[in-house]
Amino acid sequence: MKKSIVFSLICLSLVFGGCDSKSTIDGNVLAKPKKEEVNTNFEPQSFALITTDEKFISFTSTPQGLDFDEFKNKKAVLIDVFATWCPPCIDEIPTLVELKEKYKDQFEIVSVLFEKDKTKEEIEAFMKEHGINYPITMGEENFRLAKELGDIKKVPEMFLFSKDGRFVNKFIGKTSKEDLERYIKMAIEN
């Protein structure tokens, strides 16, 4: 009887806790929600992030934020630094999809993949699976941007910029739809 209980427990732990080495989640790299002072004195430099559909999202960092070539004075922009293996990142996708649709004429989301080992095809499949309606960028430039945004080490982290490129707010960890929407409205209005 004891052996069958122990065997059952081992099987359950493998079913509910077992992951292959590619999907192992290290809790040390998941960001916990918190308020934190952000250094908004970005070092002026240019970036050109490449999307899965091979388009460039170009911008320059300024002491006040980010000046997006394509979106300047047109749309507020949310930079979403995420990973495909990150449960809070995945949990936020439906909210981001909904907010992107709701404010599509005044708001853009740029998801910055914080993983090195994903292929374009894998990310396209991930986007399709989750119904993502905003671009995801890939490549080394993502990591250079993560360094500029405060040397990001954990995900998810999001950075919101107003239509004129000024930094508005940083979100660490899973963020509620209400908080995101409140700040998005501020970024659109300013």
Centroid of chain to Cα 182: 18
Q: Are 101 and 133 in contact (CB under 8 A)?
A: yes
Phi, psi of 48 (to 5 degrees): -140, 95
Helix (H, G, I), strand (E, B) or coil at 154: coil
Helix (H, G, I), strand (E, B) or coil at 158: strand
Residue 14: pLDDT over 70: no
pLDDT band at 29 (very low <50, low <70, confident <90, very high): very low
Residue position matching structure tokens 């995945």:
90
Residue position matching structure tokens 């050109």:
48
Enter the tokens of residue 188: 């659109």
The pLDDT of residue 75 is 97
CA torsion, ordered 124, 152, 48, 109, to nearest 10 deg: 60
Residue 3: pLDDT over 60: no
Cα–Cα distance for residue pair 38/94, rounded to 1 Å: 26
**Domain range 25-189, CATH class:** alpha beta
Q: How far is CA 74 from CA 67, 77, 140, in A?
A: 11, 10, 27
Beta-carbon contacts of 122 under 8 Å, excluding residues fewer than 6 positions away, are: 84
pLDDT band at 4 (very low <50, low <70, confident <90, very high): very low
pLDDT band at 44 (very low <50, low <70, confident <90, very high): confident
Residue 23: pLDDT over 50: no
Residue boundaries of the structural domains of the chain: 25-189
Name the DSSP class of 72. T
Cis-peptide, bond into residue 156, ω within 30° of zero: yes
**Of residues 38 and 149, which shows the higher confidence score?**
149
**Closest C-alpha to 50, from 150, 151, 144:** 144
Q: Note the pLDDT tens digit of each residue in 117-175.
A: 899 999 999 999 999 999 999 999 999 999 999 999 999 999 999 999 999 999 999 99
pLDDT band at 40 (very low <50, low <70, confident <90, very high): low
Centroid of chain to Cα 119: 17
Residue 25: pLDDT over 60: no
Query: Would the pTM of this model clear 0.85, i.e. be above it?
Result: no
**Of residues 7 and 137, which shows the higher confidence score?**
137
Q: Are 81 and 112 in contact (CB under 8 A)?
A: yes
Q: Note the pLDDT tens digit of each residue in 55-103.
A: 999 999 998 999 999 999 999 999 999 999 999 999 999 999 999 999 9
